[in-house]
Amino acid sequence: MQRAPQEPRTEPGRALREPGASAASPDHKPGPDLIPQGDRDKLTLRLQQALNDFVDSPRQAVEEADTVFDEVATQFSNSLTERRRVLRASWQDQDTDAQTEELRLAFRQYREITERLLHMAAPASQ
């Protein structure tokens, strides 16, 4: 008799954990910044300057905000593309007998970045 696949059970508000990992796993490190801190600071400063300039030059301020948004979106997209490339290479380029530990680490990284993206996709709190 074949069993139907079951959805993993989790309590509301609790994230899934890969097998063998604890909440404070010694190998758990946050993923790299999708946009480096220095670049984020510069882009934030430019956006703040556009806000300050809005009263005197509203059109120019909105054009600058549009430019900053475009630069953020481009850097973000490029960073995700590179992250995906590195992640895939970590498990696809190996022999077909990839080690369970390497696969576990790849899975964790996929899960972490996906959770970050899903968190960003949620509506902003008011």
pLDDT in tens, 8-47: 444 444 444 444 444 444 444 556 788 999 999 999 999 9
In a domain, 112, yes or no: yes
In a domain, 75, yes or no: yes
Separation CA 103–CA 91 (nearest Å): 6
Predicted confidence band of residue 125 (pLDDT cuts 50, 70, 90) = confident
Separation CA 58–CA 42 (nearest Å): 21
Decide if 109 contacts 87 (C-beta within 8 A). yes
Residues 6+ apart with CB under 8 A from 19: 104
Separation CA 20–CA 30 (nearest Å): 18
In a domain, 25, yes or no: no
In a domain, 2, yes or no: no
Separation CA 55–CA 45 (nearest Å): 17
Q: What does the pLDDT read at residue 94?
A: 66
Q: Domains in the chain: how many in total?
A: 1
Torsion of CA 3, 4, 5, 8, to 10 degrees: -90
Please give the residue range of the domain that contains residue 97: 37-116
pTM above threshold 0.75: no
Write the secondary structure of 36-105 as one string of H (helix), E (strand) and C (coil): CHHHHHHHHHHHHHHHHHCCCCHHHHHHHHHHHHHHHHHHHHHHHHHHHHHHHHHHHCCCCCCCHHHHHH
Predicted confidence band of residue 113 (pLDDT cuts 50, 70, 90) = very high
Instruction: Say which amino acid occupies 66.
Output: D
